[in-house]
Amino acid sequence: MAQVKVLTKNIDLANVGAPCDYQRYMDNGGYEGAKAAFAKQPQEVQQIVKDSNLRGRGGAGFPTGLKWSFVPMNFTGQKYLVCNCDEMEPGTFKDRALLYGDPHQLIEGMLIAAYAMQMTVGYIFIRWEYRKGAALVDAALEEARKNGWLGKNIQGSGFDFHLETHLSAGRYICGEETALLNSLEGLRANPRSKPPFPQIKGFLGQPTIVNNVETFGNLPHILAHGAEWYKKMGTETSAGTKIMGASGRVKNPRLWELPLGVSLRELIYDYAGGPARSGQDIKAVIPGGLSTPLLVPDEFDTLMDFDSVAKAGSRLGTACIIVFDQGDNMVEATENIMRFYRRESCGFCTPCREGIPWIWNMVNAITQREGKEGDMELMAEAGRWLSHTFCAFAPGAQGPFLSALEKFRGEFEEFIRARGAA
């Protein structure tokens, strides 16, 4: 499949340079989606998004239109719109390109969503490491305000929308939408229990929608060209295009915009150029950021869309793949992965807070050639309970961990046998 240019029509993914400014954005059909939205009733805009089959690009792939439909439209108090640009998922840098390359696309997308749900205040929650990007967005927000795309009575529509950036203090868990809301409120970044869902009780207890940067990025195009046009891209259940990426042991690590449903093999070998090191074949891929189970070569024909990857036992996640080759040691890789989760756990619930460090301790001991017989069983047992935690963080750690343990059993056993050798 060929690359497409929908979300990236103003961005060169090979070299994200200066952001597309207001003038260029307008020259290239900017704010047409917003104009189309303002010409319709909010409910009609919601219906178009529903009809487009757009699914959330934050990782879970939840249908955006359905998510929006839980917002009580007859609610008269303040409702909030939040953009999740925390992007701390290891190996994932797609939102970064959208943020740095085309901030107006994000602003327009949020404006459309805000109008559709009649939310008059919005925040863009940005990863601390992207603070330069946040400054670019701030400049774009200023341009948008100056040109009447934000603020009061936008383009004479009678609709008001106030949008601001918020820089995250820098924790992976801040990307989890309810922890994000706590963090935005100035509270500890612990997830909240659901229900109530943010759509009912979110930011400051008010109805709130949190969507990913890329999710918002799709909206101007859906509104400008229609749901039918949009559905023609991608697969039947995963419509549209996706910013995909590759990092790790590939010749050409970077991002591409591709229709959903491109095969993993094509992504690895055609786009990313195959193995980076000669003689070292690719032996595993984490398909969707770090928090998804590993896929091995005989699974590489899996198509990169939400349902196909799920069928293969993993998740599409962010569609930014992390690639390992024969020269990589999966025990050491697992140690590295679990070190990350150990560091980033918010510490709220037991299996994650205590279980992950224990697992890490065991994996670490094994890499130090201090593994013991029985460690694998013990790790698997502790790993098993990670599915019953308070939020999706620990299941995210469980995916790569248990799949590595299962698919690279031999490597672990070899290390354990080599006890005392290091």
Partner 1 sequence: MADNIKITVDGQVVETSAGENLLQACINAGILVPHFCYHEALGEAGACRLCAAMVSASADKPARLEMTCMLKAADGMVVSLNDPYAEGFRKGVIEDLMLNHPHDCPVCDEGGECSLQDMTVTTQHIHRRTRFPKRTYENQYLGPLVHHEMNRCITCYRCVRYYRDYALGDDFGVFGSRDRVYFGRVRDGVLQSEFSGNLIDVCPTGVFTNKIFREVYSRPWDLQTRRSVCVNCSVGCNVLPAFRHTTFRRIVPERNDEVNRFFMCDRGRYGGEFTNVPSRLKTARFEGPCLPVEEVTARTAAKLKQIAAEHGGGAIAAIGSPRASLEANAALSMLMKSLGGRISMFANNAERDAVRRATAITVSGELNIASLPEMEKADFVLCVGGDVTGEAPMMDLSIRQAQRAGAPVFIISPRAGKLDSFSTNSLRVKPGEESSVLDHVLSGSVPPKGALSGEQTDFAEALISALGSAKHPLVVCSVLHEDIGVVDAAYWLAKRASRLDRKCAIAFMFPSANSVGAALLRDDVAPETLHADISAGKIKALVVLERNLALDGSPFSDIEAAFSKVEFTCAIDFHENATTQQASAVVPCASHYSSFGSFLNYEGRAQRFDSLPIPGEWSRSAGEMLLSLVEATGNEEAIGEAAFSDVYEITPESNTALEALAVGDLGNRVRLAGKLPVAKSPRRNLQTATHNGLVAWNIELCFGSEELSMLHGPTRELAPQPFVELNPADAESRKLSEGEVADFSADFGLVAPLRLNANLAPGVIAIPVLKTETAIVPEEVKA
Ligand X SMILES: Cc1cc2nc3c(=O)[nH]c(=O)nc-3n(C[C@H](O)[C@H](O)[C@H](O)COP(=O)(O)O)c2cc1C
Residues near ligand SF4 (CB under 6 A) are 173, 191, 345-349, 352-353, 389-391, 393-394
3-state secondary structure the chain: CCCCCCCCCCCCCCCCCCCCCHHHHHHCCCCHHHHHHHCCCHHHHHHHHHHCCCECCCCCCCEHHHHHHCCCCCCCCCCEEEEEECCCCCCCCHHHHHHHHCHHHHHHHHHHHHHHHCCCEEEEEECHHHHHHHHHHHHHHHHHHHCCCCECCHHHCCCCEEEEEEECCCCHHHHCHHHHHHHHCCCCCCCCCCCCCCCCCCHHHCCEEEEEHHHHHHHHHHHHHCHHHHHCCECCCCECEEEEEEEECECCCCEEEEECCEEHHHHHHHHCCCECCCCCCEEEEECCCCCCCCECHHHCCCEECHHHHHHCCCCCCCCEEEEEECCCCHHHHHHHHHHHHHHHCCCCCHHHHHHHHHHHHHHHHHHCCCCCCCHHHHHHHHHHHHHHCCCCHHHHHHHHHHHHHHHCHHHHHHHHHCCCCC
Nearer residue to ligand X within complex by CB, 24 or 194: 194
Q: Which does 394 bind (CB under 5 to 8 A by kind): ligand SF4, ligand X, partner 1, none?
A: ligand SF4
Minimum separation from the CB atom of position 172 to ligand X (A): 6
Nearer residue to partner 1 within complex by CB, 326 or 361: 361
- Write out the residues near partner 1 by the rule CB under 8 A: 171, 188-189, 193, 342-351, 353-355, 357-358, 361, 365, 372, 378, 381-382, 384-385, 388-390
Region of 73-81, 141-149, 205-213, 253-261 interacting with ligand X (CB under 6 A): 205-213
Residue 84 contacts ligand X per CB under 6 A: yes
Nearer residue to ligand SF4 within complex by CB, 121 or 346: 346
Q: Which residues between 208 and 267 bind ligand X (CB under 6 A)? A: 210-212, 215
Residue 100 contacts ligand X per CB under 6 A: no
Minimum separation from the CB atom of position 176 to ligand SF4 (A): 7
Q: Which does 62 bind (CB under 5 to 8 A by kind): ligand X, ligand SF4, partner 1, none?
A: ligand X
Q: Under the rule (CB under 6 A), what is the footprint of ligand X?
A: 56-60, 62, 67, 84, 86-89, 172-173, 175-177, 210-212, 215, 391-393, 396
